[in-house]
Amino acid sequence: MDLQLRFPLFEELLQGSLNPLLPAMAADTDYYDRIERQIVDSVPDEGRYAIYFREIHHVKQRYYKRLLMSETFAYCNELISILEEETSPNIRAYYRDAILDKHLTTCLKRLSEKLEASDLNHPLDKLIEQNADIDKICNSYVLQLLKVCLAKAYLEVQDCLADVVRYKLSEKELYSSLLNELPPIKTGLKLRPERQVKSLLKESPIVHTAPANVATPIEPIAPTSFISDEKFLSVKEIGEKTNWDERTIRRYLKDGKLKGSKPGGSWIIAQSDFDAFYNHYKNQQTTNEK
């Protein structure tokens, strides 16, 4: 199972060739003619949370909107299709940590810092009223849309992993608890109530509802019985514990002697499985020495 955790276009938009803040992306006729020819229509599955965003009717805005939203829909669809097939509580808890707690949370925080540093974290209405430069308006639009797309991905994955999520966040709580800010004005997400998201908990999923006041960081709730908090080890970490060569560890894994799984292309081993294997290994070594 190959799970791509990396959010599409994130690095490219922040610091790569698609970064709207680059001088090469400034307003010029050739640039706009070029990107307008690249705008294509696509109608992917938009998922449970619909993105709504203020339109400014500019080719730069239209180009980035279609590009980013199409990639976001594809990313969410692929993630959810894989997560719905995974039945192991341990692996689903690993995905929760890797996707929600680490990758998407980190992306949201980095983007928020970028917007603040670039003085682009203003409502689009305010920029338009101030007759701001069109490039500044478009740049603010692109990066604020990226933030909403990240929030969408977070909520889509959170719903899909409802059986292992300790504390379910709403869109507003996502911004306030992770970024200590309010959601963007006149932009954001709308829940599609008619769409049903599959869950392993078919009858009554246990989900904690957030309190009304979330101005301060939220303390995690103690895990319930169906949530696995078992520690997972990487091949490198096992090598450091045992002084074994990493190739030897991978051979044990491929031969089935050491239990492990390979989400996202990298081996992970539950602490309990490693302990059982390592104790057996040491006992064998002791027996052989006798």
Average pLDDT on 19-36 reads 68
Q: Return all residues near 167 (Cβ < 8 A) that are at least 6 apart.
A: 208, 210, 218, 220, 221
**30 touches 106 (CB < 8 A):** no
The string of DSSP codes covering 131-179 is: T--HHHHHHHHHHHHHHHHHHHHHHHHHHHTTTT-SSB--HHHHIIIII
Structure tokens at 111: 């983007």
| The most confident of 24-33, 119-128, 248-257, by mean pLDDT | 248-257
Rounded Cα distance, 261 and 94, in Å:
11
What's the pLDDT score for residue 50?
86
| The most confident of 29-43, 139-153, 216-230, by mean pLDDT | 139-153
Rounded Cα distance, 62 and 54, in Å:
11
Structure tokens at 242: 């045992």
- Residue 276 banded pLDDT, cuts 50, 70, 90: confident
What's the pLDDT score for residue 105?
92
Average pLDDT on 261-272 reads 71
Q: What is the pTM of this model?
A: 0.64
Taking the C-alpha atoms of 264, 265, 270 and 274 in order, what is their torsion angle to the nearest 10 degrees? -170
Q: Greater confidence, 155 or 31?
A: 155
What's the pLDDT score for residue 103?
93
pLDDT digit string, tens, across residues 35-45: 666 665 555 56
pLDDT digit string, tens, across residues 235-249: 888 888 888 888 888
Residue 136 scores a pLDDT above 80: yes
Domain boundaries, the chain: 10-191, 232-289
Lowest mean pLDDT among 34-38, 138-142, 270-274: 34-38
Rounded Cα distance, 75 and 41, in Å:
17
What's the pLDDT score for residue 45?
65
Structure tokens at 58: 């500019």
**267 touches 260 (CB < 8 A):** yes
Residue 270 backbone phi and psi in degrees, to 5: -65, 140
Domain 232-289 classification at class level: mainly alpha
Structure tokens at 246: 């990493």
